[in-house]
Amino acid sequence: MLVRQQQNTADTPRQSDRFGIASGWLLVASLLCMPLAQADAEKGLAIATEQKARDRGWGDSESELQMVLRTAQGRESVRRMRTLALEVQGDGDKSLTIFDEPLDVRGSAFLTHSHPTAEDDQWLYLPSVKRTRRIASRNKSGPFMASEFAYEDMTSFELEKFSFNYLRDEPCAELTCYVVEQTPTDSFSGYSKILVWVDQQHYRVMRAEYYDKKQSLLKILELSDYRQYLDKFWRAHKLSMQNQQTGKSTDLLLESIRFNTGRSAADFDVAALERAR
């Protein structure tokens, strides 16, 4: 033990020396590569812009979702909900989620007006007291329905919410992906960065790694069972979020989705909340 401890204490300064040298080199290297780094930021933004562009024009949708929460030992708990969504040109999307299960929250409805730069507006209607309450969306980093998804993981993707940096190409399943680093611009985000794997053919997100504020890997999201709708829009039917720190996981399953259901902005105002069932 004696030997081991001494080694440890002896190692620390050496390691930090090595780190010092390494970071010195890193600094030199980054100075030399400045134009390259900028190009990477541009490429990252270009990829994200294309990603956003490819998903433009879907109009409105209605989907049924199932959420399966799992503990580290594999015990499960299921939540069910329906989501109506409306694409808004020139602003963030609107969505209305109605909870079906567990039964004690049935009929609760969650309305979101997302905005690219301003804070999102959120309301929750509680049928038990027949009241609607606005939720301060600063706290968007907490778990959604006690799952491993945070509200901010599920809100509409807006370019203004991140700064981008292209890192590398990497094979993902049988495809090739761009690996892009997204850094949240909002200080109220729960993440320091998100690494996203976007396939080069269809610009679909295949995988994402979420890093917490202390730069540790927190969660890994894997998206699969992509199906194409309206000959254009790809939707993943299975999203698996695995918490790397607690071992818990959540599967978000898209059970059905329909487009062009004829919804309008009127279906997404606060008064509509109380009508939603």
Partner 1 sequence: MASVQPLILRGRWLILALSLCFIVLSSIGLGQLYFRGDYRIFFAKDNPQLQAFEQMQLEFNKSDNILIGIAPRSGDVFTPEILQLVQEYTEAAWQTPYSIRVDSLSNFQHTTAEADDLVVADLVPNSQLSAAERLIIRDIAIAEPALVNRLVAADGKVTAINITVQLPEPTQQQQVTEIWSFVSDLSAQFAARYPNVEFHHTGIIALNYAFASEAEQDVRALVPIMLAAIMLMLAVLLRSIAGALATLLIIVVTVTSTLGIAGWLGLFMSTATVNVPTILMTLAVADSVHLLASMQFALADGKTKSQAIQYSLQRNWQPVVITSVTTAIGFLTLNFSEVPILRDLGNLTALGVMLACVFSLTLLPVLMQFLPLRAATIQQSSGTMARLSEWVIQRQRRLLWGFVLVTLLCTALLPLNRVNDEPNKYFASNTSFRQANDFMEQNLSGFTSIDFALNGGVAGAVNQPELLQALESFSNWLAEQPEVMHVNTLSDVLKRLNKNMHQDDLAFYRLPETAAEAAQYLLLYEMSLPFGLDLNNQLNIDKSATRLTATLYNLGSKELIALEQRALAYFAANWPDYQLSAASAALMFAYIGERNMASMLTTLPLALLLISALLLVSLRSWRLGLISIIPNLVPAVIGFGLWGLLVGEINLALSVVASMSLGIIVDDTVHFLSKYRHAREEGRDSEQAVRYAFHSVGRALCITTLVLVAGFSVLMFSGFRLNSDMGLLTSGIILIALLVDLFFLPACLLKLDKSGRTADVSPATTKHS
Return residues touching partner 1 (CB under 8 A). Answer: 1-5, 8, 69-73, 75-77, 99, 102-105, 108, 110, 122, 124, 126-129, 131-136, 138-146, 150-151, 188, 190, 212-214, 216, 245-246, 248
Q: Are 166 and 43 in contact (CB under 8 A)?
A: yes
At its nearest, how many Å lie between partner 1 and the CB of residue 247? 9
At its nearest, how many Å lie between partner 1 and the CB of residue 84? 18
Residue 191 C-beta-side C-alpha neighbours within 13 Å? 26
For 86, the 3-state DSSP assignment is: strand
At its nearest, how many Å lie between partner 1 and the CB of residue 55? 26
User: Which neighbouring-strand residues pair with 162?
Assistant: 184
- Dig out the tokens for 172 from the structure: 């993902």
Q: What are phi and psi of 201, to 5 degrees?
A: -80, -50
Q: Are 106 and 100 in contact (CB under 8 A)?
A: yes
H-only helix segments in the chain = 2-32, 34-54, 151-154, 270-273
Residue at 103: amino acid letter: L
H-only helix segments in 76-133 = none
Nearer to partner 1, 50 or 76 (CB): 76
At its nearest, how many Å lie between partner 1 and the CB of residue 107? 9
At its nearest, how many Å lie between partner 1 and the CB of residue 102? 5
Nearer to partner 1, 5 or 89 (CB): 5
Distant-in-sequence, close-in-space partners of 71: CB < 8 Å, separation ≥ 6: 247, 248
DSSP state at residue 156: P
Nearer to partner 1, 51 or 112 (CB): 112
Nearer to partner 1, 122 or 156 (CB): 122
Nearer to partner 1, 45 or 145 (CB): 145
d(CA 61, CA 116): 20
Nearer to partner 1, 215 or 228 (CB): 215
Nearer to partner 1, 76 or 169 (CB): 76
At its nearest, how many Å lie between partner 1 and the CB of residue 181? 19
Considering only the C-alpha atoms of the chain, give the largest distance between any 2 of them, rounded to a whole number of Å.
74
At its nearest, how many Å lie between partner 1 and the CB of residue 96? 14
Distant-in-sequence, close-in-space partners of 30: CB < 8 Å, separation ≥ 6: 37
DSSP state at residue 246: T
